[in-house]
Amino acid sequence: MTIVIDRVAGWRDIARVAEGETLALSQAAWDRVAHASRIVEQIVETGVRAYGINTGVGALSDTVVDRASQSRLSRNIILSHAVGVGELLAPREVRAIIAAQIANFAHGHSGVRPEIVRHLATFLEKGCIPDVPSKGSAGYLTHNAHNALVLIGEGSARVKGDSMSGRDALAAIGLEPLVLGAKEGLSLVNGTACATGLAGVALARAERLLDWADAIAALTLEAAGGQMAAFDAAVLALRPSKGIASVGASLRARLAGSGLISAATGKRTQDALSLRSIPHAHGAARDVFDITALVVDQELASVTDNPAVSGTPEEPIISSEAHAVAPALAQAADSLATALAQISAMSERRMDRLVNPLVSGLPPFLASDAGSNSGLMIAQYTAAALANENRRLAAPASTDGGITSGLQEDFLAHPTAAANKLLALIDNAEYILAIELMAAAQAHEFLVGTASRATGTDAIYKAVRAIVPAYADDRPLSRDIEALRGLIRETAAPAIP
């Protein structure tokens, strides 16, 4: 399916393109791109002084670049800014960045030629994925530059999984290297497309993660004999929150008709907080998710190029501003990271309650033969280690310091670092929830014959057993964890019947 940008793209559009859908512009959007390009052409003709068009960039913004050198300036910006290091971004992350950059150009305030946008759209259509190192952007420049390298026949890329040079990649998809015009080099490295694209991917993964977190928590609650009175709609309404209400409704629906829950009613006055406050922690994360999604959509609705061009070719306006700086995006990604770190820490605590014989009422460590078998004892170690790593990853990137470009850029918002950190934290959270899911399913093996599961939780249990059998210390558990992490990462939680 093709996503068409008319006025504004949303984060779901970016996430869908990241997963393989193609991207196109409406005629109105193409007209805006062409109009802005004509404005830049006129600025070049008249020689009106304009940042990045006929001046240097950053601390060199007062250095005039003659007309003959303006194309070379664009090319040189790409080459000098491509300084990324480390492992390559995943294909879906690169696709998301390209999609967000096209969305930014479609506002019609960048001044790049339509050919630039067509080349980028062809990358998405024909599966050309530039090699983009994951580290190096204090703000936004580095990742974008590595994408742009391939446009000019430099760098390297993968086309349908095959690695090749940038020039060969262009040939493989039927394109020629571009000779950049004035401002195009700056526009290609500028803006918040990198952080916005990565945040769109993170939102898609986080949304699925939160659904699984509710479902897994329900399976754990059932195995632990949770007290459902705490989740009554009227009780939860005493603390107004869209997220709390949503999670409470999900738990009630998922556990409706559970014989195990009925049998446990009144067994305890109240449950431990890792069980009793599921709606509060999961609900808070959902509320933060909604705010983060609004911020990402706001970013996609914004012109994030500097300078911005407007007016007409006859009366061009070139505005040097700071729209490429994205404190709100960095703060939102940091906030969602904190929320998901808390969710994963709570998951580890629930998992520990299932394996801990002091509180579970189940065989020690859910072992089939405790003593000769260790069961899931050490799996809890892994969950604890990952939860601790997530606490470190939850430290905000948006408050990091740094001064670049000879004091010209003496404030850095770090949105790309925040988005990358959020994605790394989601990786860990998926594993932690996979370990809780494994433990909850294992706990149910010892409850067979006690009472029936709810229809909603039985669907979760069956999804687990479709890919991993019950555990009897008969295989390495890491393979089971990877399989269940894949289930959480790539598929939606089973629907509540």
The single residue of 51, 140, 461, 471 carrying the catalytic annotation is: 51
Measured from the Cβ of residue 451, the count of other Cβ atoms closer than 10 Å reads 15
How far is the C-alpha of 150 from the C-alpha of 130, rounded, in Å?
A: 6
**199-490 under CATH 1.10.630.10, yes or no:** no
Q: Which residue from 309, 323, 321 is spatially nearest to 38, judged by alpha carbons? A: 309
Residue 62 has pLDDT above 90, yes or no: no
- Surface-to-core class of residue 211, CB atoms within 10 Å of its CB (0-12 exposed, 13-18 middle, 19+ buried): middle
Read off the pLDDT band of 479 (50, 70, 90): very high
Read off the pLDDT band of 68 (50, 70, 90): low
Read off the pLDDT band of 217 (50, 70, 90): very high
Read off the pLDDT band of 324 (50, 70, 90): confident
Check residue 472 and report its DSSP letter.
S
- Which pLDDT score, from 0 to 100, does residue 91 have? 97
Read off the pLDDT band of 273 (50, 70, 90): very high
* Residue 461 a catalytic site member: no
Spatial CB neighbours of 161, under 8 Å, sequence gap ≥ 6: none
Q: Which residues pair with 373 in a beta bridge?
A: 370
| Model pLDDT for residues 391-422, shown as the tens digit of each residue | 999 999 999 877 776 666 766 778 999 999 99
Q: Which residue from 134, 148, 121 is spatially nearest to 22, judged by alpha carbons? A: 121
Please name the helix (run of DSSP H) or strand (run of DSSP E) that holds residue 128, with its range, or none. strand 128-130
Check residue 159 and report its DSSP letter.
E
Q: Evaluate the omega torsion of the peptide bond into residue 91 and state whether it is cis, within 30 degrees of 0.
A: no
Which amino acid, one-letter code, is at 296? V
Q: Which residues pair with 158 in a beta bridge?
A: 129, 163
Domains of the chain, residue spans: 2-190, 199-490
Rounded to 10 deg, the angle between the 327-355 and 415-445 helix axes is: 20
Percentage with pLDDT > 70 across the chain: 94
Residue 461 has pLDDT above 90, yes or no: yes
Instruction: Count H helices and E strands in the chain, helices first.
Output: 19, 9
SS3 call for 163: strand
- CA torsion angle 437 439 441 445 (round to 10): 180
- Which pLDDT score, from 0 to 100, does residue 1 have? 84
Same CATH topology for 2-190 and 199-490?
A: no
Q: Could you say which of 1.10.275.10, 1.10.274.10, 1.20.810.10, 3.40.50.720 is the CATH number of the domain covering 2-190?
A: 1.10.275.10
pTM listed for this prediction:
0.95
Dihedrals phi, psi of 225, to nearest 5 degrees? 65, 50
| Model pLDDT for residues 91-112, shown as the tens digit of each residue | 999 999 999 999 999 999 999 9
- Which pLDDT score, from 0 to 100, does residue 408 have? 67
- Which pLDDT score, from 0 to 100, does residue 411 have? 63
| Model pLDDT for residues 115-161, shown as the tens digit of each residue | 999 999 999 999 999 999 999 887 678 999 999 999 999 999 999 89
Over range 187-216, report the average pLDDT.
97
SS3 call for 182: coil
Read off the pLDDT band of 377 (50, 70, 90): very high
- Which pLDDT score, from 0 to 100, does residue 73 have? 83
How far is the C-alpha of 396 from the C-alpha of 153, rounded, in Å?
A: 37
Q: Which residue from 426, 412, 415, 435 is spatially nearest to 481, judged by alpha carbons? A: 435
